[in-house]
Amino acid sequence: MGMKSVEISLNLQHRPNSGVSLTWKDVSVWATKKKASSFFSFGTAQQFEHVRILNRVNGYVKSGSLMAIMGASGAGKTTLMATISQRVKANEMHGDILVNGKNIDQDMMRRLSGFVPQEELVTKALTVNEHMQFMAYLMMDSRVSKSQRNRRITSLLSDLGLTKCTYTYLSALSGGELKRVSLAVQLLTDPPLLFCDEPSTGLDSYNASIVIEKLRNFASRGKAVICTIHQPASGIFELFHEVLLLAGGRVAFHGSVPDAAKHFTDLGLQCPIGYNQAEFYVSELAVISDREEECHKKIQDLCDKFERSKYGEVLRQYVCDGAEDILPNCTPINANDEEVINGDKEFQKYMNIKKVNYFTQFYWLMWRDSTAIKRSKRQTLIRFLLYMFIALLLATPYASITDGIGQKNIQNIEGLLYLIITETIFTFSYSVLHTFPSELPQMLREVGNGLYKPAPFYLCKMFLAIPGAICMPFVYTTVIFWFVGLNGGFFGYLLFCIPVIVSAIASTAYGFVMSASFESVETASLVSVPVDFLNIVFAGIYLNLSNLPLYIDWLRYTSPFYYGTEAVSILQWTNVPDIKCDNDPGLPCINSGLQVLDRYGFDPNDFYLDLFGLSMYFIILHLIAYCNFWRRSQKQSIY
């Protein structure tokens, strides 16, 4: 009787089925973790251990099926989802992941599948329509017309019940609506495989049921949908076609939802009447802290019994038949394998998608970020007003100091020039420190999904920092120049703005280096303190630069404070031909602006050299920042 049932099940499983099927065979995953250290191990080499998370897990899902991966905490659900979707590379992984019986690489899996993460990382200043437009232009085939994209977006929003939210900001959406927007994004390319990480988590039962119903409808169109899910309500659990129960990194059951009840009943584990069936399975496979050994033995026994059951036999035969042509250690096929692509019509549609070029990626990234900046007017206004307030604070004590310049005014004027540059550099270097630490998680996920490359993202951030570094210093310099009454007239004022603006632009490069090199703003700020101190010392105010020993003299050329302070000093003091001397014969007399420059170690012929130095500072630091950013962009995204 048992063998007859197996044969019937196998015949059902092997019915002709169009579309894409996903199979994973003998998937084992290990992770490297640090061993807990004791007091006596201080100073010794850090020790690591290999922990096995998945143990020879088999499974499959066919087009038209909605599968739930369930299990207690620590069972390996997320690891299995990340592994079979190839979104995250495990430290050590063995096994085969097959699509239509073919071993494919990460790029092909990314083209054939969509991944809806548990927590969506989006630019919440955009509306739903704007977010969908941005994603559509970067995800869909570049040859698709604008009208086709718009029709696709409208159709998806209508199907998912989001039409009324089309022009609503993402920040104003409910949890359920945001989940459906994430789902709509992944459906833009109509992928045959869809992975959803806990799509019902954080939602009430009503919104959770809506999301799962939408996934079931999507599966009914011939797609394969796999979800990790944590103890769904009874009505929601019954919407799934298949269920995969994990326990201790092994398969405790794989089959249809009705068959799961039969299997556990056959094992003498009857779900009580009125009790949530999904919760019952998870509770039976959970490890209780005060009974760990007993629970592990029970889980081991349940997994062994599944392997010997008719359902385990069906799974084993299906997986083995689907992978029988796979050679050990074979190289996964990729999107350039024309023979494989042309041989399987299910692959052709997705492998022939033409991605947008770097310029288009840069354009849309600039559009998204500039739109977000325009909608954060309050924050921009506060930054501008604070900067102007600093300008007034600087200008007030120095009002009219240029009237009748004497020996006592020399230090005052030079101090003002130094402060103008110092405040500008600090303001604009620290204003971009948060750029990468705050946006790196979203960038890693979007780069990992093939949305764009790291270079357009970095260039976008670099160019967006420049307009503010031009406009704000221009107004800042205007306030100080005319309030104090600095020398040079209108033409001198325009020239005076140039080194201040160039200093602001160059300082953004320094901020980018710190931002791209460290995980947090706090660490970047801490490291920048000694660097800033060293740069300030060589600005020419606290140290006479004319008689420095050769072994440290070169350090001035690494300081943006030096270039900026020297440039504005040259513009001011070359316009002062005569300086009054005091009647006190004991005091030194500096009788011209050129002598002032000489006193501070500045060369009156170095104005353009200073601008060149700031330009090189900008270029070199951005190259260093990009190298650090690119290195960090290669890390795995957190799903």
Instruction: Supply the CATH number for residue 282's domain.
Output: 3.40.50.300
562 or 8: which leads in pLDDT: 562
Q: Considering the domain boundaries, does residue 479 fall inside one?
A: yes
Strand 250-256: give its sheet, edge to edge.
Answer: 113-116, 193-197, 224-228, 66-71, 242-247, 250-256
Instruction: Read off the pLDDT of each residue in 443-448 and give the average, rounded to a whole number.
Output: 88
Q: What is the pLDDT of residue 402?
A: 63
Q: Considering the domain boundaries, does residue 445 fall inside one?
A: yes
- 521 with 597, same domain: the answer is yes
Q: What is the pTM of this model?
A: 0.84
Asked if 485 and 402 touch (Cβ cutoff 8 Å), the reply is: yes
How far apart CA 437 and CA 523 sit, in angstroms, is: 10
119 or 156: which leads in pLDDT: 156
- 154 with 269, same domain: the answer is yes
Q: How would you classify residue 399: left for phi > 0, otherwise alpha for psi between -120 and 50, otherwise beta?
A: beta
**Interval 80-133: pLDDT, tens:** 998 998 887 656 788 888 888 888 888 888 888 889 888 888 899 999 999 999
Q: What is the pLDDT of residue 346?
A: 65
Work out the widest C-alpha separation in the chain, in whole angstroms.
Answer: 121
Percent of the chain residues topping a pLDDT of 90: 40
- 345 with 398, same domain: the answer is no
- 489 with 553, same domain: the answer is yes
Which residue is it, tokens 């003299």? Answer: 553
Own/partner pairs, 405-409, CB within 8 angstroms, 24+ separation: 405/576, 405/579, 405/580, 406/579, 406/580, 406/582, 407/579, 407/580, 407/581, 407/582, 407/587, 407/588, 407/589, 407/590, 408/582
Instruction: Read off the pLDDT of each residue in 331-340 and give the average, rounded to a whole number.
Output: 50
Own/partner pairs, 350-355, CB within 8 angstroms, 24+ separation: 350/111, 350/112, 350/189, 350/191, 350/192, 351/108, 351/111, 352/141, 353/111, 353/140, 353/141, 353/189, 354/141, 354/142, 354/143, 355/142, 355/450
How far apart CA 79 and CA 288 sit, in angstroms, is: 21
- 279 with 176, same domain: the answer is yes
Token pair for 449: 């999904």
Q: What is the pLDDT of residue 12?
A: 35
450 or 408: which leads in pLDDT: 450
488 or 629: which leads in pLDDT: 629
How far apart CA 148 and CA 613 sit, in angstroms, is: 50
Q: Considering the domain boundaries, does residue 429 fall inside one?
A: yes
Q: 584 pLDDT exceeds 80?
A: no
Q: CB 544: neighbour CB atoms within 10 A?
A: 11
Q: Considering the domain boundaries, does residue 379 fall inside one?
A: no
Q: Considering the domain boundaries, does residue 47 fall inside one?
A: yes
Q: 411 pLDDT exceeds 50?
A: yes
- Domain finish residue from 351, 382, 417: 351
Percent of the chain residues topping a pLDDT of 70: 87
**Interval 351-389: pLDDT, tens:** 777 888 999 999 999 999 999 999 988 888 998 999 999
CA distances from 281 to 231, 583, 589 (A): 9, 98, 92
Q: 577 pLDDT exceeds 80?
A: no
Residue 50, judged by CB atoms within 10 A of its CB (0-12, 13-18, 19+), counts as exposed
Domain with 560, as residue range(s), is 392-633
Q: What is the pLDDT of residue 388?
A: 92
How many domains would you assign to the chain?
2
Question: Which of 137-146, 262-271, 491-500 is most confident?
Answer: 491-500
Instruction: Read off the pLDDT of each residue in 293-309 and give the average, rounded to a whole number.
Output: 90
